[in-house]
Amino acid sequence: MNGAQALLRSLVDGGVDVCFANPGTSEMHFVAALDDVPEMRAVLSLFEGTVTGAADGYGRMADRPAATLLHLGPGMANGLANLHNARRAHTPVVNVIGDHARYHKGFDAPLESDIDALTGWLHGWSRTSKASAEVGADAAAAIAAAMQPPGQLANLVLPADVSWADGGVVGEQVEPVAAQPVEDGRVAEIAKIVRSGEPVVLLLGHGTTREQGLVAASRIAAATGVKLFAETFPARIERGAGLPAIERLGYLAEQVQWQLSDAKHLVLVGAKSPVSFFAYPGKASELVPDGCQVHVLSVLGEDGTGALENLADLVAGDARPVLQEASRPGLPSGALTPQNWTEVIGALLPEGAIVSDEANTSGLMIPMTTVGAPRHDVLTLTGGAIGQGLPVAVGAAVAAPDRPVVCLQADGSAMYTASALWTMAREGLDVTTVLLNNHAYAILRMELSRVGAEAAGPKAQQLLDLSGPDLDFVSMSNGMGVPATRATTAEELADQFAKALAEPGPHLIEAMVPPLL
């Protein structure tokens, strides 16, 4: 058994049985070993941004890591932006980064680079495997590290000679660490605050935006009148009919300041104290209102959901959660608008859908129009690095093959990782992509004036404009094997969306939605 075979066997033994890959020469023994470990599914992507974004989407839905296979420093570099998003999402991922044979590194061959600098940028767990006898144990350690609450990136650098050398040993699985329970004393302290009669906001962060946490939070709110918000960009939020509907904090600082304006106490549950996404001249970075005290019920790595349940036991008595009633918008008609396309989605979103949401400005109304749709999960752009939507949809579809995946994808961001469409086609993934084509970096048009640079002239405007030539996503999608149609009216979108959902496999609908601004 060589190192690569031991590595793959150890990954599979540890429950990591999907590997998103874009290999190169230094990874050929890993690739060859795939046929020796039939339980491992290998999914090829044509660019590492898709590899890593897919691993993120997979981990968010599976609650366990996928592996990635990346080609030395430059291959890893291509995957960094979506790993940044995965880091912000606290997604468990095991990155296997192939490297030159150890004896070859000193020769500074063309692809040589300082991989440690890149793994360092990601702030995760990192190790370079030193021997084929150790790589199995390294894999087990990587899985345990990835699963360490709240979840993180584990980077395992695999030198080619470690991969090809005989003497591989399958690693013993490492018992994963559980989330730390929150002390009763802290829960009791927070209980006092929520019962104080003063205006309190509970901000739900990582891990608490799934049914169990939402229900506990809703009971607390029903009993005490506290306001509930979810963090702006949850890694995964469960919502829809039958679940408590929790509003997310807004993207714009002004929205958040308005949402929190009355609060005297802000209680963080696995969330960070809200800050502005960007700095703006003369505007605050911190968004907690003056005179509002910040308290912590749980930090990342603690069991925030359990803490919410304990808090509910203390303060909510028999209070019932407020559950969203089923309700859908009517099907709209006429030319597509930034509003009516979201009504189409709300009217037709299928039961159990997973929504990969990178609709950006076009998606402003989506939370409102889908709130009463059948129960679904939403995966959001946690780290702000665009190009996540399509890859995350790939990973979600691999993790949950029985659930329909809906990818709401802005045009500018789509161009970062468009080749994810090919992987959807190759794997026959049931992903319906609604591609919002507004011919602009619309968010930057808004930001250009928000930063006080509104006097911008034609050269500046040209840099925010995606027309000239217009991108034709129907052609591009067909070129990558995903059948595509174009919708210019709400009726066409509804018709095409319903058909795409009814057919298995990937589809893309280019929705010609004018910019919001």
Restricted to residues 437-466, the positions that interact with a second copy (CB under 8 A) are: 443-444, 447-448, 450-453, 455-460, 462-464, 466
DSSP labels, 379-399: E--SS--SS-HHHHHHHHHHH
Binding marks (x or -) toward a second copy, 261..280, rule CB under 8 A?
Answer: -----------x--xxxxx-
Contact partners, residue 384, CB within 8 Å, separation at least 6: 85, 88, 233, 277
* Residue 481 is a binding residue for a second copy (CB under 8 A): yes
Q: Work out how close the CB of 455 gets to a second copy at its nearest, in angstroms, rounded to a whole number.
A: 7
Q: Work out how close the CB of 449 gets to a second copy at its nearest, in angstroms, rounded to a whole number.
A: 9
**Residues from 301 through 320 that contact a second copy (CB under 8 A):** none
**Residues from 150 through 179 that contact a second copy (CB under 8 A):** 160-161, 164
* Residue 286 is a binding residue for a second copy (CB under 8 A): yes
Nearer to a second copy, 187 or 476 (CB): 476
Q: Tell me the site size for a second copy, rule CB under 8 A.
A: 97
Q: State how beta strands 237-239 and 376-379 pair.
A: antiparallel
User: Quick one: which of 196, 285, 293, 333 contacts a second copy (CB under 8 A)?
Assistant: 285
Q: Work out how close the CB of 37 gets to a second copy at its nearest, in angstroms, rounded to a whole number.
A: 9
Contact partners, residue 183, CB within 8 Å, separation at least 6: none
Q: How many CB atoms lie within 10 A of CB 183?
A: 12
| Candidate segments 70-78, 321-329, 345-353, 365-373, binder of a second copy by CB under 8 A | 70-78
Q: Work out how close the CB of 507 gets to a second copy at its nearest, in angstroms, rounded to a whole number.
A: 14
* Residue 197 is a binding residue for a second copy (CB under 8 A): no
Nearer to a second copy, 353 or 424 (CB): 424
Q: Work out how close the CB of 101 gets to a second copy at its nearest, in angstroms, rounded to a whole number.
A: 4
* Residue 504 is a binding residue for a second copy (CB under 8 A): no
To 10 degrees, what angle do helices 135-147 and 3-13 make?
30
| Candidate segments 144-152, 288-296, 392-400, 474-482, binder of a second copy by CB under 8 A | 474-482
* Residue 475 is a binding residue for a second copy (CB under 8 A): yes
* Residue 21 is a binding residue for a second copy (CB under 8 A): yes
* Residue 480 is a binding residue for a second copy (CB under 8 A): yes
* Residue 281 is a binding residue for a second copy (CB under 8 A): yes
Nearer to a second copy, 118 or 226 (CB): 118
* Residue 516 is a binding residue for a second copy (CB under 8 A): no
* Residue 326 is a binding residue for a second copy (CB under 8 A): no
* Residue 44 is a binding residue for a second copy (CB under 8 A): yes
User: Quick one: which of 474, 487, 494, 508 contacts a second copy (CB under 8 A)?
Assistant: 474
- Helix, strand and coil in the chain, % to nearest 5: 40, 20, 40
| Separation of CA 275 from chain center | 20
Nearer to a second copy, 312 or 386 (CB): 386
Nearer to a second copy, 160 or 217 (CB): 160
User: Quick one: which of 65, 270, 301, 412 contacts a second copy (CB under 8 A)?
Assistant: 412
Nearest C-alpha neighbor of 385 from the set 32, 38, 83 = 83
Distance CA 362, CA 517 (A): 10
* Residue 350 is a binding residue for a second copy (CB under 8 A): no
* Residue 322 is a binding residue for a second copy (CB under 8 A): no
Residue 24 burial (C-beta neighbours within 10 Å; 0-12, 13-18, 19+): middle
Backbone angles phi, psi at 153, to 5 degrees: -85, 135
Nearest C-alpha neighbor of 187 from the set 107, 304, 334 = 304
Is the Cβ–Cβ distance between 493 and 487 less than 8 Å? yes
Nearer to a second copy, 100 or 328 (CB): 100
SS3 170: coil
Which segments of 150-210 does DSSP mark as H helices, in order? 160-164, 184-194
Beta strand extents in 368-454 (DSSP E only): 376-379, 405-410, 431-436
Is the Cβ–Cβ distance between 79 and 107 less than 8 Å? no
SS3 279: coil
**Residues from 219 through 238 that contact a second copy (CB under 8 A):** 233
**Residues from 86 through 145 that contact a second copy (CB under 8 A):** 88, 100-101, 103-104, 107-111, 113-114, 117-118, 120-121
| Candidate segments 127-135, 217-225, 395-403, 477-485, binder of a second copy by CB under 8 A | 477-485
User: Quick one: which of 9, 29, 236, 486 contacts a second copy (CB under 8 A)?
Assistant: 29
Q: How many CB atoms lie within 10 A of CB 166?
A: 11
* Residue 252 is a binding residue for a second copy (CB under 8 A): no
Distance CA 112, CA 76 (A): 12
C-alpha dist (Å) from residue 378 to 49, 243, 308, 315: 20, 13, 21, 29
* Residue 473 is a binding residue for a second copy (CB under 8 A): yes
Is the Cβ–Cβ distance between 337 and 241 less than 8 Å? no
* Residue 56 is a binding residue for a second copy (CB under 8 A): no
